[in-house]
Amino acid sequence: MPVKNRFAELQSEITEWRRDIHENPEILFETHRTSALVAEKLKEFGCDEIVTGIGRTGVVGVIKGKSNTSGKVIGLRADMDALPIHEATGLDYASKTDGAMHACGHDGHTAMLLGAAKYLSETRNFDGSVVVIFQPAEEGGGGGKEMCDDGMMDRWNIQEVYGMHNWPGKPVGAFGIRAGAFFAATDQFDITLEGFGGHAAMPQKTVDTTVMAAQAVMALQTIASRNADPVDQIVVSVTSFETSSKAFNVIPQSVQLKGTVRTMSAEMRDLAEKRINEICSGVAATFGGSADVTYIRGYPAMVNHEEQTEFAADVARKVSGGCEHAELVMGGEDFAFMLEERPGAYILVGNGDTAAVHHPEYNFNDEAIPAGCSWWAEIVEQRMPAA
């Protein structure tokens, strides 16, 4: 079953919605304009129920099928927030908000789900109910968790949930997916190493935190190379090294290290936290200093459920003629929280030969709209066929 003709007809209209959202990006939970636009469109489409303010600024719409003998309820989720990046595309519809842009394609995700919602509201050719979920704050704010914490899954009795992300480098409209762990858990650490500062010409009278911190940075790399099983995925990256003094002739009293840890399993996550504490405390003690480690757990690993993944892949094959086995992604995705509450799957749709996500020259490819909308619509019509 190829791309639905209705979405080819709607493509220019959906593109207009997408470019309007692109021109007016909003960060984290500040998606007030975008949320209002989504709610307005859902009302215009004739959704049976529209609720705002779920997860602060999230929007939920309910579309009932022609019948409901199955009692099934499927959730479809799109993210709405932008990134704190200054846009460099030069497009006619480039961001009008300085320092904010849709550099990850959430404008496209929102527009495609709106397109699917319009089609499903028109046809209602399914047996059950669809809950369309428009989520704020995917980019580090945990909006997915907040919507779940607000009781979204139980309130609408959502039984399965599906999500999608565009993917630069993959042919436009092509799909990719994998079962099991797909996107990584995203943790961060903040380490303060304390020594005894002094004159750089008299290092013997100091406890040198720069040497201590340099040793710690190198030692932290042994978590991946010497502590983790080589077949497990783990990344430990120190991304910031800041001394308490910037003078050329002062050995600083303290050094602060910051960084991120990416893992695909609970075991690796626990190992990383344990070893970061042990390594930093041990290195600091060796040099006569001390270490204070703060380890903050962010998004969990996003894990696709086996049955729903195979179903999602089968739908993708019907829409585009194929569905590749996707590679692991060490980036994070807070759809993970929804997949912890309900079975479901997350798929990638090709964005073509474009700049990478989170790049100031990235732009969502509007040619992907028909395929993305068709996949969401087919998820509903195939999973809950009309009675």
Binding site, annotated residues for Mn(2+): 104, 106, 139, 165, 358
377 in the same domain as 250: no
Domain count, the chain: 2
Q: CATH number of the domain at 265, please.
A: 3.30.70.360
Give the pairing of strands 129-135 and 73-79: parallel
169 in the same domain as 274: no
DSSP secondary structure string for all residues of 225-282: IIIS-TTS-EEEEEEEEEES---TTEE-SEEEEEEEEEESSHHHHHHHHHHHHHHHHH
The answer to whether residue 194 is domain-embedded is no
Give the pairing of strands 73-79 and 160-168: parallel
Q: pLDDT tens-digit profile of 37-59?
A: 999 999 999 999 999 999 999 99
Instruction: Give the CA radius of gyration of the chain.
Output: 24
Among the candidates 263, 296, 329, a domain finishes at 296
Query: Could you give the CA distance from residue 158 to residue 153 in angstroms, rounded to a whole number?
Result: 5
291 in the same domain as 374: no
The answer to whether residue 192 is domain-embedded is no
pLDDT averaged over every residue in the chain: 97
Q: What is the mean pLDDT of residues 244-261?
A: 98
Q: CATH number of the domain at 109, please.
A: 3.40.630.10
80 in the same domain as 179: yes
Task: Judge whether 38 and 135 are in contact, CB under 8 Å.
Answer: no
Q: Which domain holds residue 233?
A: 201-296
Q: pLDDT tens-digit profile of 4-24?
A: 889 999 999 999 999 999 999
346 in the same domain as 292: no
120 in the same domain as 11: yes
Binding site, annotated residues: 104, 106, 139, 165, 358
212 in the same domain as 153: no
* pLDDT interval class at 1 (50, 70, 90): very low
Q: In percent, how much of the chain has pLDDT > 90?
A: 98
Query: Could you give the CA distance from residue 67 to residue 126 in angstroms, rounded to a whole number?
Result: 7
Among the candidates 240, 269, 296, a domain finishes at 296
169 in the same domain as 29: yes
Task: Judge whether 353 and 207 are in contact, CB under 8 Å.
Answer: no
Q: What is the mean pLDDT of residues 292-314?
A: 98
The answer to whether residue 132 is domain-embedded is yes
Q: What is the mean pLDDT of residues 273-293?
A: 98
pTM to 2 decimals? Answer: 0.95
Per-residue confidence (pLDDT) for residue 40, from 0 to 100: 98
96 in the same domain as 177: yes
229 in the same domain as 96: no
DSSP secondary structure string for all residues of 109-135: HHHHHHHHHHHHHHH--BBSEEEEEEE
The answer to whether residue 177 is domain-embedded is yes
